[in-house]
Structure 1
């Protein structure tokens, strides 16, 4: 994605027409008028083959013990996006005491796959990861981590917490089309991911301080991301909490009833993706910071980055749907204090429903009429029953 200098953007009134496309694409044509907000169809529900699982008697945390997401969000959650039934786990981390819940046990469980729960005693526990837990591509096909609302996985400010990559030979190639396969299917639910840090790890372009995923599927339910980090510079690097690439069939990453706070990264200080669709429901993004400078590609003499204070999306054909969600207090040194969305071939669409986006300053540029958003796509974002404010 190519961004002209802030000076040029300011001269052009911070409108969307100024940006050329990604990776040498042609310059953008004039955007549709900001007043035109045609209704778009939300991303369709993935087929059963996608396999993320449907709702059963999920192991939700006990009342009052754990809070994530926006309790006042009332967006309907499709069956596939709900918590997975973990009442019959494949394996359990711990034998009833905090001391038995170790980094080594988490790493082994994730590598083995299946439905994973925790038995660490009655009180909340923090497991400081001594190594990144990595999904083995031939195990599963579903990998579910359910913390029961009591477990925090911490990177200790030193490392990424969780990793899935269908194209990483070290984790095993299981198909001839690693960039587009429907497994493994990773679900994290009723967990906290804190102090993850992928700084210095530039595998697949870097990013993903808490979780990095390429390929298969990802679903996040009732989960908190707190104070995660990735590299502070880089034109297209991002995702202090989540960095996602190459989801099967362009089916969406579901983020449901989850919270993102305190993230810091070059771009996408909560989430970042390239060519990936998202459905974000009843969630909260607060106080995340995209701290890079120089945009993308990096302006001469700058390291690049600084876009997407909360959410950063780049690529060609993809969709973003945000419903029942609060995005507030996030900042971007360049564009999109709340959301940075660039569809290079202008086919992508974005829809905001029953949500509040406020106090998300874009220090460089944003799309006129959409506070906190920088958008290039098929047409202006569709905004329904939502508040967008400075």
Structure 2
């Protein structure tokens, strides 16, 4: 693959960055063959409602992204021929009066939190973003999609609303999916029994429909993974996930004391890549690679706790390798801690 120069937009100045520093490989598992249902596919944006930029890197600013996301609709970028990184000076927030919000980077855009802030936020129960229904915990809109885009260096440390987490993307309500996207070096609070999702934190999806993660990468190389108390990539409470043809490597859950927190500890440390909690929910991972993730407590790859033991975990045509659980995991399922209905369902997969 050819090496592509990357442009970083900071305070109006465009800076070239070597391709080796950004990572030239496309997202997801190219060998993944899990079928993708319509709900999990990218959305057509050939006729966008909004375009960020006027064809130059300098025109693709944080302010332009914030304004476009607030207005909603189908959003594309026009930042020139080269790849660009837009360093966000404020978190882009979805207004709850929007219906569909699609952020399509065209494979050339990175949104960066600069190690200082969360990048993207949607919360149907946040009155500051307009409270559109008294049933904010179960409403159909907005529906947020991120596709063909890269999120880097998001940081939700210190965010307390809704329990925090979601260094790159935080979502409560409506629906969310990520397609053909990459998440690197994102962070959230390093301690706490339930805070999580260095890359993505999701709560309260409409009608309990699943979040789709399709052909996306979380980490991908040493030093590129997410770091949080729990869920170095993904985290949720009571939310179902369908993860297809994706890659999770080098993500870390670094809290101490698990959940509930052991006496004298701050809690956390579970789900090196994926942390899920709640009652009835499902997690399905298919056509994916999950390797070299670590948890200081349980579930180096996946931590799954269904409190009423109704939830199910399915792993299909996937490879789970070298996911270290420093504290505990379920016997016979390396890298996984599971409390749910029966045992995890593993089909044509490698766990070791």
Tell me if TM exceeds 0.5: yes
CA distance in 1, matches of 2:226, 2:25: 20
CA distance in 2, matches of 1:105, 1:77: 32
Name the residue aligned to 1:88. 47
Name the residue aligned to 1:109. 68
Structure 1: runs of 5 or more not aligned:
1-63
1:309 aligns with 2:259: no
Cα pair 1:281 1:323 within 8 Å, conserved: yes
Name the residue aligned to 1:298. 261
Cα pair 1:232 1:292 within 8 Å, conserved: yes
3-state secondary structure, aligned to 1:149? coil
CA distance in 2, matches of 1:108, 1:130: 12
3-state secondary structure, aligned to 2:267? coil
CA distance in 2, matches of 1:115, 1:143: 6
CA distance in 2, matches of 1:65, 1:235: 36
Of 173, 177, 192, which residue of structure 1 is paired with 2:135? 177
Cα pair 1:66 1:150 within 8 Å, conserved: no
CA distance in 2, matches of 1:232, 1:202: 13
Name the residue aligned to 2:300. 337
3-state secondary structure, aligned to 2:68? helix
CA distance in 2, matches of 1:66, 1:336: 28
1:162 aligns with 2:120: yes
Higher Rg: 1
Cα pair 1:66 1:149 within 8 Å, conserved: no
Q: TM-score, normalised by structure 1?
A: 0.83
Name the residue aligned to 2:20. none
3-state secondary structure, aligned to 1:105? helix
What does residue range 192-211 of structure 1 map to in structure 2 within 5 Å?
Answer: 192-211=150-169
1:384 aligns with 2:347: yes
Q: How many residues align?
A: 325
1:145 aligns with 2:103: yes
Structure 2: runs of 5 or more not aligned:
1-22, 220-224
3-state secondary structure, aligned to 1:350? strand
Cα pair 1:65 1:149 within 8 Å, conserved: no
Please give the per-residue CA displacement for 1:62-83, whole angstroms capped at 9, x wherever unaligned.
Answer: xx97600000000000112111
Name the residue aligned to 2:331. 368
Q: TM-score, normalised by structure 2?
A: 0.92
Per the TM alignment, residue 314 of structure 1 is displaced from its structure 2 partner at its CA by 0.1
Please give the per-residue CA displacement for 1:116-160, whole angstroms capped at 9, x wherever unaligned.
Answer: 000000000000000000000002x10000000000000000000
Q: CA RMSD in A?
A: 0.9
Per the TM alignment, residue 361 of structure 1 is displaced from its structure 2 partner at its CA by 0.7
3-state secondary structure, aligned to 2:69? helix
CA distance in 1, matches of 2:334, 2:287: 18
Question: Runs in 1 of length 4+ with deviation above 3 angstroms?
Answer: none
3-state secondary structure, aligned to 2:107? strand
Flag the 1:151–1:366 CA change in 2: closer, same or farther, 3 A: same
Please give the per-residue CA displacement for 1:285-320, whole angstroms capped at 9, x wherever unaligned.
Answer: 000000000001111111100000000000000000
Of 257, 263, 267, which residue of structure 1 is paired with 2:215? 257
Higher strand share: 2
Name the residue aligned to 1:8. none
What does residue range 58-97 of structure 1 map to in structure 2 within 5 Å?
Answer: 67-97=26-56
1:212 aligns with 2:136: no
Please give the per-residue CA displacement for 1:336-357, whole angstroms capped at 9, x wherever unaligned.
Answer: 0000000000000011000000
3-state secondary structure, aligned to 2:106? strand
Per the TM alignment, residue 252 of structure 1 is displaced from its structure 2 partner at its CA by 0.3
Name the residue aligned to 2:235. 272
CA distance in 1, matches of 2:24, 2:141: 32
Structure showing greater relative contact order (alpha-carbon pairs closer than 8 Å, 6 or more residues apart) = 1
